[in-house]
Amino acid sequence: MTYTPELGQWAFGNPWSAFDVDDLGSACIAHVLNEIDRVFWNRCQRAVSFDNEEDAEEWNAFHSGVEWHAYWWGGDESGEAQRPNLTTGKTEIRWYKHPGRGESVNREMSPEDWRDWLNEAMRRIRKADPALKDMIE
């Protein structure tokens, strides 16, 4: 389904992607972010803030293959405003201000696509978890 941004996002927000994230996709995204938080805690001994770009930079330095960025509150002209909030492989997810709000994705996703995306994201995230390093390929 084509994504339609809310008024504030349309008028003042960062770019959005072409397709709407349905309830299944939103649940998958929430689960991935929860797993990022768990692994971040194992590595840094503190909770992650998905509104904090410094936490994003620290997470992205782990090279898990799942990259995230906080919503950019600065001007449109900044390169930061153009980045997707969550990337795994070729799938790019954007949200408006906070995860769970105004979510859009760069490609149409069937339930099977969301399942595959979730499995791949979880596999990549768990490889970054020092507590699991001996259990994962």
Q: What is the pLDDT of residues 1-22, one digit of tens each?
A: 899 998 888 888 889 999 999 9
Domain ranges of the chain: 31-127
Task: Check residue 6 and report its DSSP letter.
Answer: -
What is the model's pLDDT at position 31?
Answer: 98
Q: What is the pLDDT of residues 42-89, one digit of tens each?
A: 999 999 999 999 999 999 999 889 999 999 988 777 788 899 999 999
Is the separation of the CB atoms in 128 and 43 below 8 Å?
Answer: yes
Task: Check residue 24 and report its DSSP letter.
Answer: H
Is the separation of the CB atoms in 5 and 13 below 8 Å?
Answer: yes
What is the model's pLDDT at position 12?
Answer: 83
Task: Check residue 85 and report its DSSP letter.
Answer: S
Predicted TM-score (pTM) of the model is: 0.92
pLDDT of residue 137 exceeding 60: no
pLDDT of residue 102 exceeding 90: yes
* Listed residue (83, 100, 82, 107) closest to 32, CA to CA: 100
User: At a CB cut-off of 8 Å and minimum separation 6, what does 1 contact?
Assistant: 19, 20, 22
One-letter amino acid of 121: A
Is the separation of the CB atoms in 71 and 97 below 8 Å?
Answer: yes
Is the separation of the CB atoms in 68 and 86 below 8 Å?
Answer: yes
